[in-house]
Amino acid sequence: MKMKWILLMALTPLLAACAEGFTNANNTVSPASEAAAATDQTRPVTRTAPAGARTAAQFDVTSAAERSAAATRAPGGERSLGSTVASLGDPSRVGFWLETPLVSTPSKGRVTFAGSGKTANVDLIPIDGPSTAGSRLSLSAMRLIEAPLTGLPTVKVFVGG
């Protein structure tokens, strides 16, 4: 328990720095970054956490509608890509996404965490590495599937659907 507390205290300034790194002097997202994000669906729009954010809930600025859509399982048409160990991805990138070597092209998919039985629809974003390498899961997706933010949960990955 003490180790988790130490890790949380060490990560808090880092998370705050990450969130601040994508804003302009007025603490807003620049129009150029919004335009770039709007043209590429696998690159979530960067939104900032409220000033003074310290908890995962404060950093997770996805809306209730976004969380509901991500939790709704699409009917059929998907295939399993296998399992991957997931670490927490960049907390300043809002949305539901998984950066993984299990895909070679950006795709729509789903992750499931056996520890909670919860699932989340995600954008699958390819990264270099062998298929046995780990993946990075968004803060919003980790919270939705109730995976431990400071752990390395194994998630099942599906494409399509």
Span 74-94, pLDDT tens digits: 777 899 999 999 999 988 888
Residues 84 and 145 reside in one and the same domain: yes
Q: What is the pTM of this model?
A: 0.68
Q: Give dist(CA 136, CA 100) in Å, integer.
A: 7
Reported confidence tier of residue 63, pLDDT bands at 50, 70, 90:
confident
In angstroms, the CA 144 to CA 155 distance is: 13
Q: 55-70 burial, b for 16+ CB within 10 Å, e for fewer?
A: ebeebbbbeeeebeeb
Q: Which two tokens stand for residue 158?
A: 């599906």
Can you tell me the distance from the alpha carbon of 84 to that of 103, in angstroms, rounded to the nearest whole number? 12
Q: Within this chain, do residues 115 and 142 fall inside the same structural domain, yes or no?
A: yes
User: CATH no. for residue 113?
Assistant: 2.40.40.10
Together in a domain, 15 and 74: no
State which residues form the domain around 141.
65-160
